[in-house]
């Protein structure tokens, strides 16, 4: 059985009246790519900052590698790599010097450090930019530099806080592939994002956070099983009689039928062949229709059903706290 | 020492402004050291005066003698055209005609129509000559009213006015007390106050701001280096830079001004500037704490550096500043720094005494301590407001 790398118990963090983390619990095993999914302001960054002892918390306990995490626990800190949401590099230093600086905070031996820095440069694909200053790099390259600075010292636990914000698709794919390769090399990853597609793509286990609480946790399949929805059928239809909607709604596995903006959206729970039955009803009633889509539930559906709102509905108030 | 090494690397990138200040300061220092103090002095302006004596008496001849002593008497001819030509080509500044009856009128106490003259209207030279002649006539008048004969009054007036124009010029290098620092070194030390503030703020502040920015600080705090070690390494870098600049400027003074720097007063001057260096460093940390970004650092440095220098007598001698300005200056450490320098050089009528000198040093240290406390308070307030 794999060891527990991170254990957070009953963590409470308040900013005056605002409760950023409300009895937050989490357990992450060795070798996992663990996703923290939640809208902006849900408490992801606060949880990470508490985990790293950058923020004092009001209540609770945090253990990393079986040791209590404190600001002075440098032994544990040595094993952690952090890639912050805001790029933290020196504009005055070149790409190579930046990676060397952050690697040097952990590795004092010059030879080893040089080897590690070169490997980090190769990992991030920055070989052609080693003498560039950060201001000369594109947004994607800058993010890759940020990642290289965080992983150069070969940490066992890597925390990535929204590493793909404002990144072009090409760099995003490269970053995601890189994270998976770090995991294959033995690192445990904590990945926070509000992009559900990314989390679905790379995370082995996911925790959904809302208002500082851990509302659901499991693999993506486990999470999807938690909700009623198993299939969402969308049919382009300009006009649908009320009687037709009622007929569809009366089908065994259909629990919701909504028609708006020229689209008929039918949500099903369990059962198979729903689509054939629905299309049959439309044909029988001479209802003209266009394209038809059938979608499996996404994490957004999971979040929507659990919290009653979509993942990207972050409140402004909470955004302030996160930023 | 990773933080220290990076601190020094980043500082190198921000040194351009500091280097410019140092070069300009040293150039001024070299200029001052090469200047010849003996040329410094005071000389009365001598005008070219043409005199036509229509009275031809003892009194009028005495007046001509007085004019001859203070000015140069030139011949321009008697015709009007010749006189106007002389004025036009500046061969003469004033053409004075002593009217007939000059002596008689003076003896009777009358001062109207004694002279007629040609001059270029509204010129300083004509006004200057007028003032002198009026003073001469008033003095004679006073003597004649007192019962002296016109000849005796003219004689006494000439002697009196000769005494009045005598002025004693003390050369900066001819102090009565040889232990006092020369004005050149005193000025060097005074300018040092402005330069050290500008150099240290423009060199250190942007570097400290970069190293302590929220992102970098958080990122470094996640590492296995303690925050106290980080702070110590940043402090070490700051101290090395400041001491380096201080040594450079002090050694330059030793090269430029020689052994005088190593006299008792010279060494006290070095001590005074070192204490001011501590204040400059404290001020730099304070600005680094309150400055919202490195873009405004130069603006703040200019306001603080120039403001303090003008209010405290760094550029303009304190004796020339108004009481109001000096009263404001007393609330700034540069005032006490300059005052201590003045004591060492005997400038500004300051008389050196150990107790007065060390009171000035003590006040400078008190300012540094006070500013350091305010800085800690500001840093705490800033950190707590940011974390909310």
Q: Are residues B120 and B73 both part of a single domain? A: yes
Strand partners, A156: none
What pLDDT, on the 0 to 100 scale, is given for residue A93?
93
**Confidence class for position A312, pLDDT limits 50, 70, 90:** low
Determine if the pTM surpasses 0.90.
no
Q: Name the closest residue on chain A to residue B224, using Cα atoms.
A: A74
Q: Name the closest residue on chain B to residue A104, using Cα atoms.
A: B2
Judged by CB atoms closer than 8 Å, whether chains meet at A101 and B6 is answered as yes
Question: How large is the average pLDDT for residues B235-264?
Answer: 89
Query: What distance, in Å, lies between the first and last C-alpha atoms of chain B?
Result: 32
Question: Which domain-ending residue is among B101, B134, B162?
Answer: B162
Question: Which domain-ending residue is among B133, B162, B191?
Answer: B162
Distance CA B116, CA B95 (A): 9
Is A221 a residue whose pLDDT tops 90? no
Judged by CB atoms closer than 8 Å, whether chains meet at B221 and A84 is answered as no
Q: Name the closest residue on chain B to residue A51, using Cα atoms.
A: B222
Is B90 a residue whose pLDDT tops 90? no
Distance CA B139, CA B144 (A): 9
Question: Which domain-ending residue is among B139, B162, B185?
Answer: B162
What pLDDT, on the 0 to 100 scale, is given for residue B59?
85
Q: Are residues B301 and B190 both part of a single domain? A: yes
Which of the residues B203, B220, B222, B293 would you substitute to probe the A interface, choosing the one with the greatest number of A C-beta atoms within 10 Å?
B222
Are A82 and A159 within 8 A, CB to CB? yes
- Burial (CB < 10 A; 0-12, 13-18, 19+), residue A277, is middle
Distance CA A215, CA B284 (A): 49
Q: Is residue B121 part of a domain?
A: yes
ipTM exceeding the 0.95 mark:
no
Judged by CB atoms closer than 8 Å, whether chains meet at A101 and B388 is answered as no
Kindly list the residues from chain A whose CB atom is less than 8 angstroms away from the CB atom of residue B219.
Answer: 82, 84, 88, 102, 149
**Confidence class for position B155, pLDDT limits 50, 70, 90:** confident
Q: Is residue B204 part of a domain?
A: yes
What pLDDT, on the 0 to 100 scale, is given for residue A17?
82
Question: Among A56-70, A140-154, A309-323, B346-360, which stretch is predicted with the lowest mean pLDDT?
Answer: A309-323
Q: Is residue B42 part of a domain?
A: no
Distance CA B155, CA B163 (A): 13
CB of A15 less than 8 A from some CB of B: yes
Q: Is residue B345 part of a domain?
A: yes
**Confidence class for position B301, pLDDT limits 50, 70, 90:** confident
**Confidence class for position A321, pLDDT limits 50, 70, 90:** very low
Distance CA B50, CA B91 (A): 9
Share of chain B above pLDDT 90, in %: 21
Question: How large is the average pLDDT for residues A94-113?
Answer: 92
DSSP string of B309-343?
HHHHTSSS-GGGS-HHHHHHHTTSHHHHHHHHHHH
Residue found by looking up tokens 């790409």 in the block:
A95
Shortest Cα distance, chain A CAs vs residue B289, angstroms: 19
Is B275 a residue whose pLDDT tops 70? yes
Size of chain A in residues: 323
What pLDDT, on the 0 to 100 scale, is given for residue B44?
60
Strand order in the sheet with B115-119: B72-73, B48-53, B94-98, B115-119
Residue B343: how many CB atoms within 10 A of its CB? 25
**Confidence class for position B154, pLDDT limits 50, 70, 90:** confident
What pLDDT, on the 0 to 100 scale, is given for residue A2?
61
Kindly list the residues from chain A whose CB atom is less than 8 angstroms away from the CB atom of residue B221.
Answer: 52-54, 71
3-state secondary structure of B126: helix
User: Closest partner residue to B2 among A82, A90, A101, by Cβ?
Assistant: A101
What pLDDT, on the 0 to 100 scale, is given for residue A16?
81
Query: What distance, in Å, lies between the first and last C-alpha atoms of chain A?
Result: 38
Q: Are residues B144 and B120 both part of a single domain? A: yes
Q: Is residue B219 part of a domain?
A: yes
Q: Are residues B184 and B56 both part of a single domain? A: no
Q: Are residues B183 and B240 both part of a single domain? A: yes
CB of A73 less than 8 A from some CB of B: no
Q: Name the closest residue on chain A to residue B228, using Cα atoms.
A: A72
Judged by CB atoms closer than 8 Å, whether chains meet at B218 and A97 is answered as no
- Compute chain B's Rg from CA coordinates: 32
Q: Which of these, A192, A205, A217, lies nearest to A303 by C-alpha position?
A: A217
What pLDDT, on the 0 to 100 scale, is given for residue A117?
94
Shortest Cα distance, chain A CAs vs residue B279, angstroms: 28
B113: Cβ–Cβ under 8 A, 6 or more apart, which residues?
Answer: B99, B105
Which tokens in the block code for residue B313?
């007598």
Distance of CA B49 to the CA centre of its chain: 36
Kindly list the residues from chain A whose CB atom is less than 8 angstroms away from the CB atom of residue B203.
Answer: none
Residue found by looking up tokens 């080893």 in the block:
A112
CB of A96 less than 8 A from some CB of B: no
Please state the domain count of chain B. Answer: 2
Which of the residues A17, A54, A81, A94 would you substitute to probe the B interface, choosing the one with the greatest number of B C-beta atoms within 10 Å?
A54
Question: Among A125-129, A167-171, B322-326, which stretch is predicted with the lowest mean pLDDT?
Answer: A167-171
User: Closest partner residue to B220 among A71, A75, A105, by Cβ?
Assistant: A105
Distance CA A219, CA B296 (A): 50
User: Closest partner residue to B226 among A74, A86, A108, by Cβ?
Assistant: A74
Judged by CB atoms closer than 8 Å, whether chains meet at B2 and A104 is answered as yes
Q: Is residue B168 part of a domain?
A: no
Per-chain mean pLDDT for chain B: 84
Q: Are residues B181 and B155 both part of a single domain? A: no
User: B17-58, pLDDT tens digit by residue?
Assistant: 889 988 988 888 888 877 755 544 455 678 888 888 888 888
Largest CA distance in chain A: 78
Count chain A–chain B contacts defined by CB atoms under 8 A.
64
What pLDDT, on the 0 to 100 scale, is given for residue A159?
92
Distance CA A70, CA A58 (A): 14
**Confidence class for position B178, pLDDT limits 50, 70, 90:** low
Residue found by looking up tokens 């070169």 in the block:
A118
Question: How large is the average pLDDT for residues B237-252?
Answer: 92
Per-chain mean pLDDT for chain A: 86
Q: Are residues B53 and B120 both part of a single domain? A: yes
Buried b (16+ CB within 10 A) or exposed e, B55-76: bebebbbbbbebbeebbeeeeb
Judged by CB atoms closer than 8 Å, whether chains meet at A92 and B387 is answered as no
Q: Are residues B218 and B110 both part of a single domain? A: no
CATH assignment of the domain containing B143:
3.40.1710
Q: Are residues B24 and B69 both part of a single domain? A: no
**Confidence class for position A190, pLDDT limits 50, 70, 90:** very high
Q: Are residues B376 and B233 both part of a single domain? A: yes
List, in sequence order, the alpha helices (H) in chain A: 44-51, 74-77, 95-104, 110-124, 139-151, 169-184, 196-202, 220-225, 242-249, 274-284, 299-307, 316-322
Q: Is residue B289 part of a domain?
A: yes
The dihedral through the CA atoms of B319, B324, B330, B335 has a sign that is negative
User: Closest partner residue to B215 among A80, A88, A93, by Cβ?
Assistant: A88
Judged by CB atoms closer than 8 Å, whether chains meet at B388 and A105 is answered as no
Distance of CA B19 to the CA centre of its chain: 24
CB of A84 less than 8 A from some CB of B: yes
User: B57-89, pLDDT tens digit by residue?
Assistant: 888 888 888 888 888 888 888 788 888 888 888
What pLDDT, on the 0 to 100 scale, is given for residue A315?
40
In terms of average pLDDT, the best of A147-151, A172-176, B185-189, B254-258 is: A147-151
Phi/psi of residue A159, nearest 5 degrees: -110, 120
Q: Which of these, B322, B316, B304, B311, lies nearest to B342 by C-alpha position?
A: B316
Strand order in the sheet with A292-295: A254-260, A263-268, A231-236, A292-295
Question: How large is the average pLDDT for residues B144-158?
Answer: 82
Distance CA B259, CA B255 (A): 9
Kindly list the residues from chain B whose CB atom is less than 8 angstroms away from the CB atom of residue A114.
Answer: none
Give Cα separations from A93 to A96, B8, B10, B133 (angstroms): 8, 11, 7, 75
Shortest Cα distance, chain B CAs vs residue A260, angstroms: 43
Q: Which domain holds residue B116?
A: 48-162
Give Cα separations from B293 to B210, B212, B218, B287, B388 (angstroms): 9, 11, 17, 10, 20
Q: Are residues B21 and B64 both part of a single domain? A: no
Q: Are residues B108 and B215 both part of a single domain? A: no
Q: Is residue B170 part of a domain?
A: no
Judged by CB atoms closer than 8 Å, whether chains meet at B387 and A55 is answered as yes
Is B234 a residue whose pLDDT tops 70? yes
Share of chain A above pLDDT 70, in %: 94
Is B144 a residue whose pLDDT tops 50? yes
Question: Among A171-180, B155-164, B302-311, which stretch is predicted with the lowest mean pLDDT?
Answer: B155-164
Are B221 and B325 within 8 A, CB to CB? no
Domains in chain A with CATH codes: 4-79+156-225 (3.40.50.300), 231-296 (3.30.70.100)
Distance CA B222, CA A52 (A): 6
């Amino acid at each position: 059985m794999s060891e527990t790398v991170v254990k957070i118990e009953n963590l409470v963090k308040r900013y005056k009246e605002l409760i950023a983390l409300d009895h937050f619990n989490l357990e992450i095993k060795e070798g996992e790519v663990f996703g923290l999914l939640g809208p902006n302001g849900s408490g992801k960054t606060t949880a990470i900052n508490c985990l790293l002892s950058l923020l004092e918390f009001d209540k609770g306990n945090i253990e990393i590698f079986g040791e209590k995490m404190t600001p002075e626990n440098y032994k544990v800190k040595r094993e952690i790599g952090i890639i912050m949401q805001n790029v933290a590099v020196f504009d005055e230093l070149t790409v190579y010097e930046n990676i060397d600086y952050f690697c040097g905070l952990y590795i004092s031996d010059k030879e080893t450090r040089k080897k590690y820095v070169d490997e980090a440069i190769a990992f991030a694909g920055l070989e052609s930019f080693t003498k560039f200053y950060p201001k000369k790099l594109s947004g994607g390259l800058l993010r890759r530099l940020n990642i290289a600075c965080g992983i150069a010292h070969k940490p066992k636990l890597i925390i990535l806080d929204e590493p793909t914000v404002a990144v072009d698709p090409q760099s995003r794919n490269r970053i995601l592939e890189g994270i998976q390769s770090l995991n294959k090399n033995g690192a445990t990853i904590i990945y926070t994002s509000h992009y559900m597609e990314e989390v679905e793509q790379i995370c082995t286990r996911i925790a959904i956070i809302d208002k500082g609480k851990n509302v659901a946790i499991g693999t993506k399949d486990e999470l999807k099983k938690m909700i009623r929805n198993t299939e969402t059928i969308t049919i382009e239809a300009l006009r649908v009689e009320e009687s037709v909607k009622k007929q569809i709604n009366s089908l065994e596995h259909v629990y919701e039928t909504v028609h708006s903006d020229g689209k008929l959206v039918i949500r099903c729970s369990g059962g198979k062949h729903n689509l054939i039955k629905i299309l049959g009803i439309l044909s029988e009633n001479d209802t003209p229709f266009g394209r038809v889509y059938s979608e499996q539930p996404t994490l957004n559906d999971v979040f929507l059903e659990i919290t009653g709102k979509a993942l990207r509905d972050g409140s402004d108030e909470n955004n302030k706290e996160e930023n | 020492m990773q933080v220290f090494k990076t601190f020094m690397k980043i500082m190198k990138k921000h040194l351009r402004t500091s280097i410019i200040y140092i070069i300009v300061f040293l150039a001024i220092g070299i200029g001052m050291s090469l200047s010849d103090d003996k040329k410094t002095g005071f000389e009365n302006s001598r005008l070219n005066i043409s005199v036509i004596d229509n009275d031809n008496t003892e009194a009028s001849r005495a007046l001509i003698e007085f004019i001859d002593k203070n000015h140069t008497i030139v011949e321009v001819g008697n015709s009007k055209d010749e006189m106007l030509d002389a004025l036009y080509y500046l061969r003469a500044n004033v053409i004075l005609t002593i009217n007939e009856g000059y002596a008689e009128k003076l003896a009777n106490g009358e001062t109207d129509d004694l002279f007629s003259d040609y001059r270029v209207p509204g010129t300083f030279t004509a006004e200057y000559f007028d003032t002198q002649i009026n003073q001469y006539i008033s003095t004679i008048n006073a003597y004649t009213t007192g019962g002296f004969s016109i000849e005796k009054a003219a004689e006494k007036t000439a002697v009196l006015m000769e005494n009045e124009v005598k002025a004693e010029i003390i050369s900066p290098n001819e102090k009565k007390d040889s232990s006092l620092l020369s004005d050149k070194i005193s000025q060097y030390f005074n300018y040092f106050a402005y330069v050290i503030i500008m150099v240290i703020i423009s060199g250190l502040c942007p570097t400290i701001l970069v190293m302590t920015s929220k992102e970098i600080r958080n990122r470094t705090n996640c590492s296995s280096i303690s925050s106290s070690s980080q702070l110590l390494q940043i402090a070490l870098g700051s101290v090395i830079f400041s001491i380096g600049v201080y040594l450079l400027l002090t050694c330059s003074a030793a090269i430029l001004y020689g052994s005088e720097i190593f006299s008792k007063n010279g060494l006290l001057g070095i001590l005074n500037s070192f204490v001011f260096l501590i204040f400059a460093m404290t001020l730099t940390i304070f600005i680094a704490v309150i400055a919202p970004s490195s873009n405004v650092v130069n603006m703040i440095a200019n306001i603080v550096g120039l403001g303090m220098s003008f209010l405290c007598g760094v550029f303009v001698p304190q004796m020339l500043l108004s009481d109001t300005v000096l009263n404001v200056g007393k609330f700034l450490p540069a005032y006490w720094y300059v005052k201590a320098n003045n004591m060492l050089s005997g400038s500004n009528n300051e008389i050196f005494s150990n107790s007065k000198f060390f009171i000035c040093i003590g006040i400078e240290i008190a300012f540094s301590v006070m500013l350091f406390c305010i800085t800690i308070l500001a840093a705490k307030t800033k950190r707590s407001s940011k974390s909310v």
